[in-house]
């Protein structure tokens, strides 16, 4: 199902009839279901980020939080595949599975952990702005790894992204170098995963069967959990007791319970928002998804500034707006919208 359709006039059909027919198409059950999924995706994503930032402020263990979030994926795998709600993916061999999903799992670990560590060290709004520069990494890696050169409009759209990020960074009152670098690292791995995924045809039965977008995301998560857990154990396990004692020494029993609930919520919201994101991606064209993803970034920035009361200077807001707009232009240019004579996007 596509959410973008050109409205064509047909001979013998009155304008009023055409409007009614087009409205009935837009408000059919499939579209209503998709719009509900988009709303849930937005709500879960924003909630996950706000809870994660709050949790990391109390308990600065980003690797452990990430590992737990990935591990929650096993619960959903048991729920969806064990009950038959979704068909379990099948592969011709374990070797074929590892060859495809190990690199994707590694990329998933570092793109997510980079984001979480960046948020732990800096502000949510700043991390989100830096994350909007992911197209720059995608364009660079496409040239280096695939020798894939895009149209001129794509490269022109990178200018406002770089300018906006630079302006926002220069006017960030709580600038943290490590937060900046971790967000950039996350962009590199996100671009790497996108490029590697682009080369694969998950509809090809030689790769595997039942590889729907949501199942592919499930596999990303499960492989990532196996990789991330040992890293978290090595880096942070020796400090778990001390970190918990420091965070809770002046807390009541109810407040300690609240922290545990936030940990559980992070895992559930992380999996479910990504699941809905991949569900939406599988049911709309890439342009519409890119526009919605850009709007989601704006929602995250606005909500985080309101909730955490981060002070942003006027030029910082200008930089944020320019970077987000550049990201949208990049998405549209990459899909060829800028080279078409007319396109209707709903």
Whole-model pTM above 0.75? yes
pLDDT per residue, tens digit, the chain (346 aa), is: 444 444 444 445 555 554 445 445 555 777 888 889 999 999 999 999 999 999 999 999 999 999 999 999 999 999 999 999 999 999 988 998 999 999 999 999 999 999 999 999 988 988 888 888 887 887 888 888 777 777 788 788 888 888 888 887 777 767 889 999 999 999 899 888 888 887 777 767 778 898 988 999 999 999 999 999 999 999 999 999 999 999 999 888 899 999 999 999 999 999 999 999 988 888 877 667 777 887 888 888 888 888 888 777 888 888 888 888 887 887 778 766 655 543 333 3
What does the pLDDT read at residue 226? 97
Domain coverage including residue 204: 41-339
What does the pLDDT read at residue 338? 57
Within a domain: 214:
yes
Within a domain: 30:
no
Within a domain: 1:
no
For tokens 């707009």, name the residue.
325
Within a domain: 15:
no
Per residue in 279-293, pLDDT tens? 888 887 766 777 788
What does the pLDDT read at residue 18? 46
Number of domains in the chain: 1
Within a domain: 119:
yes
Within a domain: 109:
yes
Within a domain: 18:
no
Within a domain: 180:
yes
Per residue in 153-169, pLDDT tens? 878 888 888 888 888 77
What does the pLDDT read at residue 309? 82
What does the pLDDT read at residue 27? 59
């Amino acid at each position: 199902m596509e959410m973008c359709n050109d409205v064509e006039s047909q001979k013998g059909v009155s304008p009023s009839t055409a409007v009614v027919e087009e409205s009935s198409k837009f408000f059919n059950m499939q579209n209503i279901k998709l719009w509900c999924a988009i709303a849930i995706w937005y709500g879960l994503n924003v909630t996950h980020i706000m809870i994660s930032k709050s949790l990391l402020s109390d308990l600065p263990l980003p690797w452990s939080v990430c590992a737990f979030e990935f591990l929650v994926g096993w619960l959903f795998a048991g729920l969806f595949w064990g009950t038959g709600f979704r068909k379990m993916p099948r592969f011709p061999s374990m070797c074929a599975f590892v060859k495809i999903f190990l690199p994707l799992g590694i990329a998933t670990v570092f793109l997510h952990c980079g984001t979480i560590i960046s948020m732990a060290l800096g502000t949510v709004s700043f991390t989100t702005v830096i994350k909007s520069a992911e197209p720059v990494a995608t364009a660079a890696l496409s040239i280096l790894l695939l020798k894939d050169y895009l149209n001129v409009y794509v490269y022109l759209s990178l200018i406002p992204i770089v300018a906006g990020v630079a302006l926002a960074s220069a006017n960030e009152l709580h600038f943290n170098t490590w937060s900046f670098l971790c967000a950039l690292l996350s962009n590199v791995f996100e671009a790497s995963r996108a490029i590697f995924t682009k080369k694969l045809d998950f509809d090809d039965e030689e790769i595997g069967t039942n590889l729907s977008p949501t199942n592919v995301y499930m596999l990303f998560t499960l492989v990532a959990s196996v990789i991330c857990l040992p890293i978290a154990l090595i880096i942070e396990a020796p400090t778990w007791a001390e970190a918990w004692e420091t965070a809770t020494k002046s807390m009541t029993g109810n407040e300690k319970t609240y922290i545990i609930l936030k940990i559980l919520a992070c895992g559930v919201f992380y999996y479910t928002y990504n699941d809905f994101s991949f569900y939406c991606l599988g049911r709309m064209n890439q342009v519409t998804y890119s526009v919605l993803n850009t709007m989601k970034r704006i929602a995250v920035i606005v909500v985080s500034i309101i909730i955490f009361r981060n002070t942003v200077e006027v030029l910082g807001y200008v930089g944020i707006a320019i970077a987000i707009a550049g990201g949208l232009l990049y998405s549209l240019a990459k899909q060829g919208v800028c080279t078409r004579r007319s396109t209707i996007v709903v």
